[in-house]
């Protein structure tokens, strides 16, 4: 039976592509480590009806 492990990575939504941290570099690094992005979401606050972060959910097959 295949087993998986999961990882969540968070990036700030404001200025995501203007920040010093390039999200493409981080995402490519995770891909090289065998992580596959399975979902991307930006939860919305009930009070502001907006999101301040973007969450990336990754999985990869576990070695165990």
Chain segment 19-50, per-residue pLDDT in tens: 566 778 888 999 999 999 999 988 887 777 77
The H or E element containing residue 39 is strand 36-41
As given in the structure block, the two tokens for residue 53 are: 């972060």
Q: What is the mean pLDDT of the chain?
A: 84
> What is the spatial distance between Cα 54 and Cα 64, in angstroms, rounded to a whole number?
30
Q: Is the dihedral of CA 16, 19, 24, 29 positive or negative?
A: negative
pLDDT confidence band for 51 (50 / 70 / 90): confident
């Amino acid at each position: 039976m295949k087993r998986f492990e999961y990882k969540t990575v968070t990036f700030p939504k404001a200025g995501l592509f203007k920040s010093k941290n390039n999200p493409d570099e981080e995402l490519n690094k995770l891909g090289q480590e065998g992580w596959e992005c399975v979902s991307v979401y930006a939860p919305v606050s009930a009070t502001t009806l907006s999101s301040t972060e973007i969450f990336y959910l990754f999985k990869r097959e576990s070695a165990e």
